[in-house]
Amino acid sequence: MQSLSTKHLLGIKDLTANDIQLILETAKEFKEVINRPIKKVPSLRDVTIANVFFENSTRTRLSFELAEKRLSADVVNFSASGSSVKKGETLLDTVNNILAMKVDMIVMRHSSPGAPHYLSKRIKANIVNAGDGTHEHPTQALLDSFSMQEKLGDLAGKKIAIIGDILHSRVALSNIFCLQKLGAEITICGPNTLLPKYIGEIGVRISHSVKETLQWCDVANVLRIQLERQQIKYFPSLREYSLYFGINKQMLDELDKEIVLMHPGPINRGVELSSDAADSHHSIILDQVENGVAVRMAVLYLLSQQI
């Protein structure tokens, strides 16, 4: 039986191409399981997992919880709001107290880049990074690649565009690492102010033209404008951003080929994507969400072999 080269999932950067292929192959099997009338398997019976969220989430949190329950794990959920973090308890004390209750694995979202890496050096339990600030969101990248493979097959040589607020996005970096390891070509597109200064040095093409990028790509993965992480103004107004970098259905319909439209959610409707594009036949946004459960089942199952 194959196993992952790592005990934690901290980021895609640490995974080998074989690790990624193993997760995606395992996810295919779990997707079959969750489409059966009986969606549960006993794989993680007697394993206890804590979902520790210091930042808001809808998709990732519910998806992990469902994945854990489908695998028959025992699950506890922790939100920083309403917890003793508000009384000044540290991250390490909080997690050590949760682990003292015989928890085996931690799924963690935190606003500080590197928070799960810090913990991984100080605790014994397996850690899954469910998003650390603007750094990485590995399971999002894995479910994005899984969804692209479902539509396009092998991603080697496929042209993937990542469009929007790259600067503040953990999804962008994880997608770039994942897609490069799968052999895809990548263009990032957005206003200069929303592209990290040295991003060209990691082997991606850069464009400031959405029209040209849509003509070039097989997949457009559109990212949210993350206003909550923007302390200064990166563009004059949302209206202007939408005018120059927003995507609508007409733009997709007018291409001389079919492309796949993706977005990790939550969508700012009318800003980076119009509603008619988000809800069109081009979009696989809800497939991404569906696939998230199977991919997270695969990650938890494979990591549990190293408890």
Catalytic site includes residue 151: no
151 interacts with ligand CP by CB under 6 A: no
The bridge status of strand 219-222 relative to strand 260-262 is parallel
3-state secondary structure of 161: strand
Under the criterion CB under 6 A, does residue 200 sit at the interface with ligand CP?
no
Ramachandran angles phi, psi of 88, nearest 5°: 105, 10
The number of residues that bind ligand CP (CB under 6 A) is: 10
Residue type, 138: P
Site for ligand CP contains 58 (CB under 6 A): yes
Cα 127–chain centre separation: 16
Q: Is 69 a catalytic residue?
A: no
Nearer to ligand CP, 138 or 264 (CB): 264
Between CA 189 and CA 209 the distance in angstroms is 7
306 binds ligand CP (CB under 6 A): no
Spatial CB neighbours of 273, under 8 Å, sequence gap ≥ 6: 222, 246, 247, 248, 261, 263, 267
Rounded Cα distance, 225 and 240, in Å = 13
250 binds ligand CP (CB under 6 A): no
Outline where DSSP puts E strands in the chain. 48-53, 74-79, 105-110, 126-132, 159-163, 185-189, 205-207, 219-222, 260-262
Q: Which two tokens stand for residue 154?
A: 């092998």
Query: Which of 120, 126, 140, 175 forms a contact with ligand CP (CB under 6 A)?
Result: 140
Which residue in 266, 269, 275, 305 binds ligand CP (CB under 6 A)?
A: 266
Q: Which of 36, 86, 87, 102 is catalytic?
A: 87
Site string for ligand CP, 61-100 (x = CB under 6 A): x---------------------------------------
The nearest distance, CB 204 to ligand CP, in angstroms, is 21
Shortest CB 59 distance to ligand CP, Å: 4
User: Binding segment for ligand CP among 7-15, 17-25, 233-241, 258-266 (CB under 6 A)?
Assistant: 258-266
3-state secondary structure of 49: strand
Verify binding: residue 191, ligand CP, rule CB under 6 A.
Answer: no
- Identify the bridge partners of residue 43 per DSSP, sorted by sequence position: none
**CA dist 226 to 36, 174, 222, Å?**
37, 17, 12
Given the residues 7, 13, 28, 59, the one annotated as active site: 59
59 is catalytic: yes
Residue among 6, 21, 43, 57 that touches ligand CP (CB under 6 A): 57
8, 61, 70, 109: which is the annotated catalytic residue?
A: 109
Would residue 60 show up in a list of annotated catalytic residues for this protein? yes
When binding is defined by CB under 6 A, the residue of 26, 48, 51, 60 that contacts ligand CP is 60
| C-beta of 126 vs 140, nearer to ligand CP | 140
Catalytic residue flag (residue 26): no
Q: What does R_g of the chain's alpha carbons equal in angstroms?
A: 19
CB of 286 to ligand CP, least distance (A): 12
Q: Are 2 and 305 in contact (CB under 8 A)?
A: no
Element (H, E) at 214: helix 210-216
How far is the C-alpha of 122 from the C-alpha of 124, rounded, in Å?
Answer: 7
Catalytic residue positions?
59-60, 87, 109, 137
Residues at the site binding ligand CP, with contacts judged by CB under 6 A: 57-61, 131, 140, 264-266
